[in-house]
Structure 1
Amino acid sequence: MRIFKTIFTLLLLALFTISCSSDDGTDGINGVDGQPGATGATGTANVIYSAWLTAPTAVAETVDGTSGMSTTLNVPQLTDDILSKGTVLVYVSFGSGTFSLPYTSTAGGFVNTITAVSTLKKIKLFRFRHDQGGTVNIPTSLTWRYILIPGGVAAATSKMAKVDYSKMSYEEVCAHFNIQQ
């Protein structure tokens, strides 16, 4: 019985292969092409990104028992929905390049990190020294950019793997969302 099914399947496959060819169908006359449409807006639906911003002068602050310097960016589009389901990316740019936060460097002779803490309508930029021996300022000459990616279908119900944008470089994120750098 199994061999009969195999032979029958092969016969059907041969029949379909023989009966279909590239010459089937009718030859029509090409229609006139329409006028080109207007260029669309840059970006991807629902993704929000800022221009390069300067932040207000930093002040000394203690966050979770860690002393550092902080300043805050006002982000009116940062909603509870984005905070709970989406992704917030923050970048810092200065003479040697563009870097994603958290960013760790040796500035002022000490290892320190600049991180971003997102809350409703605000992103706090916080810089702390790893040795807790004092603070390192956040210069107003640094520029900042945020990208807000609203959440979509929950990863457990999606057929596609969730993308971890925090593992992508600034350039890769901009290319992925068609954001002008």
Structure 2
Amino acid sequence: MKIFKTIFTLLLVAIFTISCSSDDGENGIDGINGIDGKNGIDGKNGVDGQAGAVGAPGAPGTANVIYSKWITAPVAVAETVDGTAGMSTSINAPELSEDILAKGTILVYVSFGSGTYTLPYTSTAGGFVNTITAISTAKKIKLFRFRHDAGGTVNLPTSLSWRYILIPGGVAATAGKGVKADYAKMSYEEVCAHFNIQQ
């Protein structure tokens, strides 16, 4: 009888335990999302700094311009050029090409005690009006002096110094601010300054 009661008690406990095990409750409703905060006000842009001053223009380069040192010429000899009698000598200009002859500018200068002058140069040296001019050919420049009255000749002394500047046709011929340069009308000093050539 005690065994029966014990079994009956255990059976009741088991039934009670099973009947009391509750199922999970339903999930609650999700809460409403909070309202996003307002964006902050953008800060003001800073004031732009002042532009720097424009730099001074650089000196024109001499990359394509060819120039000689001051040189002397051989003793002049009497010669008639185009029917004009005079005295002539020559200096070598190995860089003087056919292309420069055709398209470029050839400047020749003579220097003596009183200064430096662009050829053609006219004076009254020897007591007569006369002109020294340059006659250019490939790789050589002839220096020719003739009297205007065709009455004789005036010598070209070996004490004179000569220099040439060769400007190829591709070098921009400007004197600044878009002005077309005529190098033949510029002084020796102006040409040297323009091309940054040491005098």
TM-score bin, normalised by smaller chain? 0.7 to 0.9
Aligned counterpart for 1:106 among listed residues 124, 127, 131: 124
Shift of 1:162: 3.6
Unaligned runs of 5+ in 1: 1-20, 26-41
TM-score by length of 1: 0.73
- Percent of residue pairs identical: 81
The verdict on how the C-alpha distance between 1:153 and 1:145 changes in structure 2, with shifts beyond 3 A counting, is closer
Is residue 135–residue 144 contact of structure 2 (8 Å, CA) maintained in 1?
Answer: yes
Alignment of 1:1-181 (within 5 A): 23-24=47-48, 44-152=62-170, 160=178, 162-181=180-199
Shift of 1:161: 5.0
The verdict on how the C-alpha distance between 1:22 and 1:58 changes in structure 2, with shifts beyond 3 A counting, is farther
Shift of 1:153: 7.3
Corresponding pairs, count: 142
3-state secondary structure, aligned to 1:44? coil
Name 2:30's counterpart in structure 1. Answer: none
Letter in 1 for 2:120: P
Shift of 1:48: 0.4
Shift of 1:22: 7.3
User: Between Structure 1 and Structure 2, which shows a larger proportion of strand residues?
Assistant: 1
TM-score by length of 2: 0.67
Distance 1:105 1:58 in 2: 18
Alignment RMSD (CA, Å)? 2.3
Letter in 1 for 2:195: F
Unaligned runs of 5+ in 2: 1-44, 50-59
Shift of 1:23: 1.3
